[in-house]
Structure 1
Amino acid sequence: MAKLVQLILLLATLQFVLAIPTDIYLKMLAAQAPTDPCYDDDKARKCIPDFVNAAYGTPVLATSTCGYNEPQRYCEHTSVSGSSKSQDMTCHTCDNDNPQQRFPASALTDLNNSNNVTCWRSEPITPVTSMNAPPDNVTLLLTLGKKYELTYISLQFCPKAPKPDSIAIYKSADFGKTWLPYQFYSSQCRRVYGRPNRLTITKHNEQEARCTDAHRHAGEMSGIQGTRIAFSTLEGRPSARDLDSSPVLQDWVTATDIKVVFNRLQMPEQATKLTLEPNVDIKAGKYSETESNTLHIHQLGSNALDQQSMYGTSGAAAGGTSALIASTGQHYAVSDFSVGGRCKCNGHASKCIPDHHGLLTCDCKHNTSGRDCERCKPFHFDRPWGRATARDPNECKICNCNNHARQCRFNMELFKKSGRVSGGVCQNCRHNTAGRYCDYCKEGYYRDPTKPLNHRRVCKSCECHPIGSSGKTCNHTSGQCPCKDGVTGLTCNRCARGYQQSRSHIAPCIKVPPRMSNMLDTQNTEPEPNPYEANAPYRTDGGRGKMRKMQNKHKKVKPEQILQKGLRNNGESNWSRSEHRGNKQRTIRIHQRKPTTGTRKRDGEVRFTNTDHFQAFPTRVRNNEYNPKTRSYDLDHTD
């Protein structure tokens, strides 16, 4: 029966879903999905974590705890008001081994329940008799474990416990390495802390700690009700309304640790004279068991506990006074220690979560990182990091490196010159690229116009001729190598028109003399005439002899002008040659191993990627690589 009901419900759900149009159903799902507070329609905006009690459940280290080492006596008022000049005090025992009489420091940050008040109590405090007496210096240390932006610090004292006279609050923003004063409370600020009472705060001293005596008069200061002291971190600070634009106050409210020091329970003028019941053993410092176990205390003026006025100058009387002071049981007692604030994320996260080490860390957005979102993520340095505000979320931007780099840095000068738009500088550009954005080819390479800028093979090697070019760097756009005088070609691999090859590596192409140029043009453009023909233009007389001498002179230069591979192979040419002798042609074949890496073409010429081996094939080079078509010497010309 149960399975049948489940099946019916499933069919009803499917029928309902199928009846809804797809677009409407998707909108319903999107509306139900949780939205990210750091984005509004994929647009970044300021976001902050929830306001919490940062001290809740956090351990507190106390320098003094009642009954921690041995059972001790503590006393408290029988009346909560404490306004009567004559009041009674009831004494009890604290013992750390007894759960009912234990008052540990963990009671400071547990759940504050008014129906079940838990208290931390210090050991009994010796009342002061003069200002020269050492301070009590009972300390409570709270470690938050992470940076918080605090709004208030509150101390709730236990019912019937006396309110301390002098309290100092300190804060640390570097996990306890350094401490700064936060707030002072004292009825005599100048005598105890050397500070004026209720100092006026201006924009020039917004990080100055103030001292006040308002805690002694609960009705004169808002935030102090009954036995509670609440310190507001921004109260009375001029820039409190615009915290985002005030780095001074941002640093002022930031804290990782809070330390509360109780310096004085009572001032000498407030010291009390004790009158005990007859059954109290003063010298022993112990109380005898009575039904109420009550002490009657009367407040007197200053020097009320002066030993000479009470007992004279005898040593026994002095010892009795010490026992009497020890038996009063006055102590510090706090029921709740709370710190209100938000996890510091600089406006780039809406919550804090534990990381893989168990440490509380901001769940950073806007391309930021760090425990407090205090920096940009790697490769997102195109603009400077900044705290998110309501006007500008200051989202970190990725660097534009055209997919040729994985690292970049920020440069403020470039950022200012760009109109505060871009300040990223790419580092370690790959794929033979260079530049701020890896947007041009490095030395020895040029841009391939057939490929997009972000292609990994956008830069091609220049391959400038090692002898014909004056450098290895070619034009980044066209690939034209810098040629020496008389050398031409994209890679500077042939002699220009009117130039012939030489044996010099400094000037591989030299200008041909005009007379020789004309003769070479004649003998290279027309076949050599048959001397036995009747119409031959040359005879065996002096003119013919001069031509023979010129040809012989030119023949000596022939082996030195084979430059097409001499430039590439250090003067060793493996190209086949043919020479004209009358109407006969002699062909020289050179057989070598085939190239292992294949061939490629560039600018109409045949190139081999392996210059050590060339393919065996017959070629014909006319008259020392002279190209009759261009009427110039070609370093790599074959016919």
Structure 2
Amino acid sequence: MSDSFFILCLLIECVHAFPASSQVFYDSENLPQYCEPEVVNIAELVDPMINYRPEKAYIHDADRVIQNCRNCNQDLKKNDACWLGKSSKIPIKNLEISFRFNKSLQIHNITIQFCTPRPKAMRILKSVDNGKTWNNLQYFANDCKGAYNLTTNTKQKEHLPVCTDKYSQFIPLRKTIFPTLKGRPSAFKLQNSSDLIEYTSATDIKIVFNEMFFSDSERKVLPYIYGISDININGRCICYGHASRCNFNQMKKRFECVCKHNTKGLD
């Protein structure tokens, strides 16, 4: 088993399919009806990849490690276990965690539960070409201007990423929440907004911890370490209205629409 798998190994369940939506495929005149799979936590099915060797520990509270372990009890409650990046004597920069779906998905929200202080600056990125190129989805920073040369919560266009300081305080055991459509005027008519459909579509998601709190004036942390107890990526397969179910193919490590309306193909 790869080192990258350890960071979330207890959080992943062997689920093979999205639940089907309770939708009718044809109307009374036998015309095809638009249908789509339900929104689920797609991160449960995908092994995360990390660019920094992880360790694992069972955490009792914010400050005290009760048990270091490589194979923690599988019956531990989800948020009782904390997966730690390898500790460092110097501040950690640009730690990356990525998820590959091998198919276009529509991302609705991303939640990260920390068991150490949250990053001082962090980005969420997406790819639409299986990781060949990346675009920013959202910025989080204690100082948006200093970290990313962005003004806090300013949107030039509704499908562009913004920077928020809401989730970048030095407080352990807190979540970072990113609802992709919140505050975007076309969210309630998403299917009519090609810009927002493109903005929320992804074949891959990458989370980058660019900077951590480290100076004496910001409560110096030694050793320097990141800890995460849970990552949720809620979304659905993009099946273009022709499927209410989307299965995860364990052998091919990809999501596949279960097509209706005499259609076939991955999408």
2:155 aligned partner? 200
Letter in 2 for 1:258: I
Q: Equivalent of 2:139, from 169, 184, 196? A: 184
1:340 aligned partner? 234
C-alpha distance 256-333 of structure 1, shift in aligned 2 (>3 A): same
C-alpha distance 265-364 of structure 1, shift in aligned 2 (>3 A): same
2:93 aligned partner? 136
Kindly state the Cα deviation for residue 226 of structure 1 after the two structures are TM-superposed: 5.8
Asked if structure 2 preserves the Cα contact closer than 8 Å seen for 1:173 and 1:254, the reply is yes
Q: Report matched runs for 1:247-396 at 5 Å.
A: 247-266=194-213, 268=215, 270-272=217-219, 328-353=222-247, 358=252, 359-372=254-267
1:145 correspondence with 2:99: no
Q: Report matched runs for 1:426-437 at 5 Å.
A: none
Q: Equivalent of 2:119, from 154, 164, 170? A: 164
Asked if structure 2 preserves the Cα contact closer than 8 Å seen for 1:54 and 1:338, the reply is yes
Kindly state the Cα deviation for residue 119 of structure 1 after the two structures are TM-superposed: 2.1
Question: Deviations for 1:52-97, whole angstroms, at most 9, x for unmatched residues?
Answer: 11111310011223459xxxxx9x8x964xxxxxxxx5467856xx
Q: Equivalent of 1:65, from 53, 61, 79? A: 53
Q: What TM-score do you get using the length of structure 2 for normalisation?
A: 0.78
C-alpha distance 260-371 of structure 1, shift in aligned 2 (>3 A): same
Kindly state the Cα deviation for residue 364 of structure 1 after the two structures are TM-superposed: 2.2
C-alpha distance 216-111 of structure 1, shift in aligned 2 (>3 A): farther
Q: What TM-score do you get using the length of structure 1 for normalisation?
A: 0.35
Kindly state the Cα deviation for residue 194 of structure 1 after the two structures are TM-superposed: 1.5
Q: Report matched runs for 1:79-158 at 5 Å.
A: 80=62, 89-90=63-64, 94=68, 98-100=70-72, 113-114=77-78, 117-128=80-91, 136-158=93-115
SS at match of 2:99: strand
State the alpha-carbon separation in 2 of the partners of residues 198 and 213 from structure 1. Answer: 8
RCO comparison, higher one (Cα < 8 Å, 6+): 2
State the alpha-carbon separation in 1 of the partners of residues 88 and 118 from structure 2. Answer: 13
C-alpha distance 361-242 of structure 1, shift in aligned 2 (>3 A): same
Asked if structure 1 preserves the Cα contact closer than 8 Å seen for 2:98 and 2:206, the reply is yes
SS at match of 1:207: coil
Letter in 2 for 1:365: K
Asked if structure 1 preserves the Cα contact closer than 8 Å seen for 2:51 and 2:95, the reply is yes
C-alpha distance 39-111 of structure 1, shift in aligned 2 (>3 A): farther
C-alpha distance 111-264 of structure 1, shift in aligned 2 (>3 A): farther
Kindly state the Cα deviation for residue 111 of structure 1 after the two structures are TM-superposed: 9.4
SS at match of 2:43: coil
Gaps of 5+ in 2: 1-21
Kindly state the Cα deviation for residue 351 of structure 1 after the two structures are TM-superposed: 1.0
Kindly state the Cα deviation for residue 236 of structure 1 after the two structures are TM-superposed: 1.4
Give aligned-pair identity as a percent. 30
Kindly state the Cα deviation for residue 208 of structure 1 after the two structures are TM-superposed: 1.3
Kindly state the Cα deviation for residue 355 of structure 1 after the two structures are TM-superposed: 7.2
1:37 aligned partner? 24
2:15 aligned partner? none
C-alpha distance 352-343 of structure 1, shift in aligned 2 (>3 A): same
More helix by share: 1
C-alpha distance 272-348 of structure 1, shift in aligned 2 (>3 A): same
C-alpha distance 267-238 of structure 1, shift in aligned 2 (>3 A): farther
Asked if structure 2 preserves the Cα contact closer than 8 Å seen for 1:112 and 1:336, the reply is no
C-alpha distance 148-163 of structure 1, shift in aligned 2 (>3 A): same
Letter in 2 for 1:348: H
SS at match of 2:181: coil
Letter in 2 for 1:117: D
2:37 aligned partner? 49
Question: Deviations for 1:102-130, whole angstroms, at most 9, x for unmatched residues?
Answer: 9xxxxxxx99935x6222210113455xx
Task: Work out the number of aligned pairs and report it.
Answer: 243
State the alpha-carbon separation in 2 of the partners of residues 355 and 142 from structure 1. Answer: 15
State the alpha-carbon separation in 2 of the partners of residues 217 and 272 from structure 1. Answer: 12
Asked if structure 2 preserves the Cα contact closer than 8 Å seen for 1:38 and 1:44, the reply is yes
Asked if structure 1 preserves the Cα contact closer than 8 Å seen for 2:45 and 2:248, the reply is no
Kindly state the Cα deviation for residue 332 of structure 1 after the two structures are TM-superposed: 0.4
State the alpha-carbon separation in 2 of the partners of residues 56 and 367 from structure 1. Answer: 30
Asked if structure 2 preserves the Cα contact closer than 8 Å seen for 1:65 and 1:120, the reply is no
More strand by share: 2
Kindly state the Cα deviation for residue 206 of structure 1 after the two structures are TM-superposed: 2.3
Kindly state the Cα deviation for residue 144 of structure 1 after the two structures are TM-superposed: 1.9
Letter in 1 for 2:108: T
Kindly state the Cα deviation for residue 196 of structure 1 after the two structures are TM-superposed: 1.2
State the alpha-carbon separation in 1 of the partners of residues 199 and 229 from structure 2. Answer: 27
1:228 aligned partner? 175
Letter in 1 for 2:77: N
SS at match of 1:55: helix
Kindly state the Cα deviation for residue 368 of structure 1 after the two structures are TM-superposed: 3.5
